[in-house]
Amino acid sequence: MAATTPRPRSARRRPRPVGVDTLERLKRLIGDGRYQPGSALPAERELAATLGVSRPSLREALRMLAALGAIETRHGSGTRVSATSAGVLRASFEFLLLLDRPTIDDLLDARGLIEGHLAARAAVLRDDHDLAALDDIVAVMHAHAIDSRAGKDANRRFHQAIAAAARSTVLERFMACLDDGIRACIESGAATADPATSHAAHDAIHAAIVAGDADAARAAVAEHMRLSGINAGSARTRPIGRPR
Partner DNA sequence: CCCGCTTTATAGTCAGACATAATAACAGAT
Partner DNA sequence: ATCTGTTATTATGTCTGACTATAAAGCGGG
Enumerate binding residues for DNA (CB under 7 A). 14-21, 41, 43-46, 53-57, 59, 73-79
Give, as ranges, the residues between 148 and 177 that touch a second copy (CB under 8 A). Answer: 168-171, 173-174
Q: 237 CB contacts (<8 Å, ≥6 apart)? A: 103, 105
Residues 218 and 44: their CA atoms lie apart, in Å, by 49
Among 39, 40, 45, 56, binds a second copy (CB under 8 A): 56
79 binds a second copy (CB under 8 A): no
Q: Is the dihedral of CA 29, 34, 38, 40 positive or negative?
A: negative
146, amino acid identity: I
SS3 category, 72: strand
Footprint of a second copy on 172-201 (CB under 8 A): 173-174, 178
Q: Does 236 bind a second copy (CB under 8 A)?
A: no
Q: Are 197 and 226 in contact (CB under 8 A)?
A: no
Q: Residue 45 touches which of a second copy, DNA, none (CB < 5 to 8 A by kind)? A: DNA
Closest by CA position to 116, among listed 15, 2, 216, 227? 216
Vertex 203, ends 198 and 206: CA angle to 5°? 125
23 binds, among a second copy, DNA, none (CB under 5 to 8 A by kind): a second copy
> Which residues sit at the interface with a second copy, rule CB under 8 A?
14, 17, 19-20, 23, 27, 30-33, 37, 56, 59-61, 63-70, 75, 85, 88-89, 91-93, 95-96, 98-100, 102, 106-107, 109-110, 113-114, 117, 168-171, 173-174, 178, 241, 244
